[in-house]
Amino acid sequence: MQIGDLSRQSGVNIETIRYYERIGILPKPARQSNGRRSYGPADADRLGFIRHARDLGFDLKNIQVLLALQEQPEASCDDASRIAQDQLESVESRIARLIKLREELRRMVSECSRGRVAECRVIDALVPSRNS
């Protein structure tokens, strides 16, 4: 299949596919006689793996490690588990920060009397403290 077909099938932008090839996370494809890239099912599977990992928030460095581990089916999955655990902790930390952010925004909105800007609690809450 050509790069456009791979892009449509995987939902990954063509430029992103080319970028993945440049950095080595996706192997360089075979070329047709006219110079166009030619991809096979294994390329589509690998790109699907990468996309799913990206959707879960893994960075490209960790995805490269996970891809390398995938090629060693008899190896221990300790590294994969550690990478997933680190990602889980990162996600939980972001969720905690977002919950705090939500509460602060709720407080700002609930304290707003919707009067004049001069007395607006939302604007007032965003002004940096002069004591800082």
Cα 84 from Cα 82, distance rounded (Å): 5
Give the 3-state secondary structure of 34-102.
CCCEECCHHHHHHHHHHHHHHHCCCCHHHHHHHHHHHCCCCCCCHHHHHHHHHHHHHHHHHHHHHHHHH
- Between CA 36 and CA 102 the distance in angstroms is 49
**pTM metric for this prediction:** 0.77
pLDDT (tens place) for every residue of the chain, 132 residues total: 999 999 999 999 999 999 999 999 999 999 999 989 999 999 999 999 999 999 999 999 999 999 999 999 898 999 999 999 999 999 999 999 999 999 988 988 888 777 777 777 788 778 887 554
Domain boundaries, the chain: 3-75
Residues whose CB falls within 8 Å of the CB of residue 46, separated by 6 or more in sequence, listed in order: 26, 27, 67
What CATH architecture applies to the domain 3-75?
Orthogonal Bundle (1.10)
